[in-house]
Chains A and B, each alone.
Chain A
Amino acid sequence: MSSPSLCLELTGITKRFPGVLANDNVGFSVRPGEVHALLGENGAGKSTLVKMIYGLVRPDSGQMRFNGAAYTPARPSDARTAGVAMVFQHFSLFEALNVAENVALGMENPPPLRELAARIRAVSEEYGLPLDPARMVGDLSAGERQRVEIIRCLLQDPKLLIMDEPTSVLTPQEVEILFRTLRQLSAEGTAILYISHKLDEIRSLCDGATILRRGKVVATCVPKEKTSRELAEMMVGATLNPPERRPGEKGEVVLGVTDLSVASPIPFGTSLKEVTFTVARGEVLGIAGVAGNGQDELLLALSGELRVAPDKLRIKGHAAGDLGPNERRRTGLVAAPEDRYGHAAAPDMTLVENAFLTGAIRKGLTRHGFIDWAGAKAYAEQVIRDYDVRTPGSYVAARALSGGNLQKFLIGRELDQSPEIIVINQPTWGVDAAAAAAIRQAILNRAAEGAGVVVISQDLDELLEISDSFAVLNAGRLTKPRPVEGLTIDQIGLMMGGAHGMEVAHHGH
């Protein structure tokens, strides 16, 4: 018998997928009430590991013990019955269903919906996460959606709560509310397994950490005793340098947007309202905001997928609002949308084909209307080389690359077209520290060479690191851009206004 003082204990866990050893002899343990971090780069095997604990994937070999007993979940319902709950990185929610229905779908034996709604209200009050069970999930903000996931877990009295990148879409205020909830749970004896790329958060929240690199445990530590830099270097196994800023001169305005109002083409989307800003050569404008506040729509309007009145958008002084994406590329504007699989890339096409799709115009990859395959291949390989994309070759399908590697390829594909205006939504979403640093550096390099850059991101640290000016998109409205210098996190939180209705619910003591 293993010691009953452990909540979860893994020994010798190995999982092999065709061509990849995802987990190699992994072992670690979590005590009841401990908040344990799982750290590692993209592709280090964290997701596979938690999927095995949640019963979505079965290990090839190795043992798991849960509360002292052997634990071999064959499916998620076994895991839930045993007391394991999981909050997913990509929300496992159904937009067209209401909160109570979404919660019911994640439970083993849900009570009738009316009773469940009452319990959702009770639990959400108890943990300070107010939530209306009758609302459609499609209408909720990212923070509220996450509450749905968390409450779904809490209703089952979990002994172990797994959280996969829970804070990547939250405002600072929302993160604080989440952490308060997690600390309350941990004080009640619930063990928490926490996966995140945000090392500061891990240092403030977690009691212990296991660090994975290429499927192996390379270190365990107490995160509070390490600096973020040390943690990142343990993950990467190399020394990291922060992006370098070469203070460049601001040139003339290359992109001007005036009073841009446009209805959202996306179901449950947010319309843009009177958005106004300018970007000059050498300037990086960072646009923050919680997901679903018009980010996707802004990217569509800037890239040309959504056309507007000609004079609402001016490129290098010329009215360009009615130009489509290809015409805008011709004038020097490149755009990289957020969704890697399906919007930024055609997932089933090869890297060469994907390189051709946006590079054709600016890199001259067509001849008399025919595709210049040799040129396209050379361009794809150039991007792979320049941006250290790890792939067996340029012939593989985009889908086959890990998220971080594909992101490096897609950003590189745009940046290598010698653009004059760059629009990027979420440049480093779900990308590990080393790759994120490389992408940020590449963006800064282009700005230093005289491009005007618009970066839309939900990662505040990233925006503060690379932006010259800063604005917030909130319910489709953009605040007046302000210089980054001298801004505090608190001021930004207020600008974001995501705090409306976000107060922790007070309950009687």
Chain B
Amino acid sequence: MDIAGINLVTLIASLMVAAVPILLAAIGELVVEKSGVLNLGVEGMMIMGAIGGFMVAVATGSPLMGFIGGAIGGAVLSLFFAVLTLGFLANQVATGLALTMFGLGLSSLMGQGYNGVKPPPTGALFGPLGDIPVIGPILLGHDWMVYFSILIVAVVWWVLRYTRTGLIIRAVGESHDAAHALGYNVARIRLLCIMFGGAMAGLGGAYVSLVRVPQWVDGITAGAGWIALAIVVFASWKPWRVLLGAYLFGGITVLQLRLQAAGSSIPVEYLSMAPYLITILVLVIMSSGRSKAALNAPAALGQNFHASR
């Protein structure tokens, strides 16, 4: 199963791993945006998760504790965003951008002593089962975070679509005034969604520093948060499309690396820009043309809510 010197099985197996950080960050942001909040600080929350998770994992020697630490790191940073936008009604776009800058700077400061340190390894969940040909590497050979990220997509889809909690989140994102008039606490619902988004972004960041790289360098997330934001929009706020978008991006990232390694004649610059370009192109095509998809944006997205009398 080799095409142009690239093994298809290992390609699929590694794209699933490459997609995890973006997938987690995007699914978190999807919930945030569904509740009507536009948090552009995904990149900042991811990198706080990356350093937070790295520090905890190194200190405790447990990757699990590291991931929990990463989630908490992202959630704590998102709390700043929540206080500013929900409490003080600050502009969401500006606050989100500031959050990214703040996260990048703070993580760099916190990571001072960690350059060159090795984090504890995160092993495959099913151990030797991963050695079964073809299905082994693709379905059974991954660490638990890969399965967890897919599970989270399923759970978010199910909650948004079938539960009352999901209905309330969608309602708040659709019209905060109407939701308030019916007696729902708009600020509290949005606060919880923002923190969920922060935790997911943090988890994604921790996966970068603990599994993908795995070590600490400044700016380790390298723009993954921005791609996650774009994926949410072009996926028309639909969880399974977010999965598709993340895998597409992950796939092309892996593919272009392999092509570079295989000594492809295409210049490296084009290959490195390909994941960004192709992901956005495909998702734009998917979300265009059908008015329904364009209308799927939460109507109150980006608007602050204040309960006037």
Contacts and interface: CB of A to CB of B under 8 A. Distances in A.
A275 to B, nearest CB: 23
A91 B183 contact: no
B171 A94 contact: yes
Contacts of A48: 309
B150 interface: no
Contacts of A80: 183
Interface in B215-269: none
Interface stretch (A97-105, A184-192, A230-238, A470-478): A97-105
Given A17-B309, A110-B164, A56 B171 contact: no
Interface string A79-104: 01000000010111111110001001
B163 to A, nearest CB: 11
A508 interface: no
B170 A76 contact: no
Contacts of B299: 95-96
Q: How large is the interface on A (under 10, 10 to 19, 20 to 34, 35 or more residues)?
A: 20 to 34
Q: Which one of B170, B174, B178, B183 has the greatest number of beta carbons of chain A within 10 Å?
A: B183
A366 interface: no
B174 A95 contact: yes
B1 interface: no
B174 A88 contact: no
A307 interface: no
A91 B295 CA distance: 20
Given A17-B309, A93-B178, A94-B175, A75 B183 contact: yes
B4 interface: no
Contacts of A22: 309
A334 to B, nearest CB: 29
A76 B183 contact: yes
Contact of B178 (A17, A92, A104): A92
Interface string B273-309: 0000000000000000000000110110000000001
B93 interface: no
B151 to A, nearest CB: 24
A437 interface: no
A46 to B, nearest CB: 13
Nearest to A94: B174
B295 A104 contact: no
Interface string A321-340: 00000000000000000000
B106 interface: no
A92 B182 CA distance: 7
B155 interface: no
Contact of B309 (A57, A101, A104): A57
A94 B183 contact: no
A105 B171 contact: yes
B213 interface: no
Given A17-B309, A57-B309, A95-B174, A106 B182 contact: yes
A219 to B, nearest CB: 26
Contact of A97 (B164, B174, B183, B309): B174
- Which size bracket describes the interface of B in this complex? 10 to 19
Contacts of A94: 170-171, 174-175, 178-179
A75 to B, nearest CB: 5
A76 B182 contact: yes
A77 interface: yes
Interface string B175-217: 1011101111000000000000000000000000000000000
Given A56-B183, A76-B183, A96-B295, A101 B178 contact: no
Nearest to A88: B181
B117 interface: no
Contacts of B298: 96
B168 interface: yes
B183 A104 contact: no
In this complex, the member of A17, A95, A110 whose beta carbon has the largest number of chain B beta carbons within 10 angstroms is A95
Contacts of B181: 56, 76, 88, 92
Contact of B174 (A76, A77, A96, A110): A96
A267 interface: yes
A101 B167 contact: yes
Interface string A27-66: 0000000000000000000001001000111000000000
A56 B295 CA distance: 31
Interface string B56-97: 000000000000000000000000000000000000000000
A51 B179 CA distance: 15
A44 to B, nearest CB: 15
A97 B171 CA distance: 8
A105 B183 CA distance: 10
The residue among A77, A80, A94, A97 with the most chain B CB atoms within 10 A of its own CB is: A94
B167 A104 contact: yes
Contacts of A90: 177
Nearest to B170: A97
Interface string B141-180: 0000000000000000000000010011011001101110
Nearest to B167: A101
A112 B309 CA distance: 33
Contacts of B170: 94, 96-97
A77 B183 CA distance: 7
Contacts of A76: 181-183
Closest 10 CB pairs of A and B: A76-B183, A92-B178, A92-B181, A94-B174, A75-B183, A77-B183, A94-B171, A105-B171, A106-B182, A96-B174
Interface of B: 164, 167-168, 170-171, 174-175, 177-179, 181-184, 295-296, 298-299, 309
Interface of A: 17, 22, 48, 51, 55-57, 75-77, 80, 88, 90-97, 101, 104-106, 110, 267
25 contacts: A17-B309, A22-B309, A48-B309, A51-B309, A76-B181, A77-B183, A80-B183, A91-B178, A92-B177, A94-B170, A94-B171, A95-B174, A95-B299, A96-B170, A96-B174, A96-B295, A96-B298, A96-B299, A97-B167, A97-B174, A104-B164, A105-B168, A105-B171, A105-B179, A105-B184
Given A80-B183, A94-B174, A104-B164, 16 more contacts: A17-B309, A48-B309, A57-B309, A76-B181, A91-B178, A92-B177, A92-B178, A92-B181, A93-B178, A95-B174, A96-B295, A97-B171, A97-B174, A101-B171, A104-B167, A267-B295
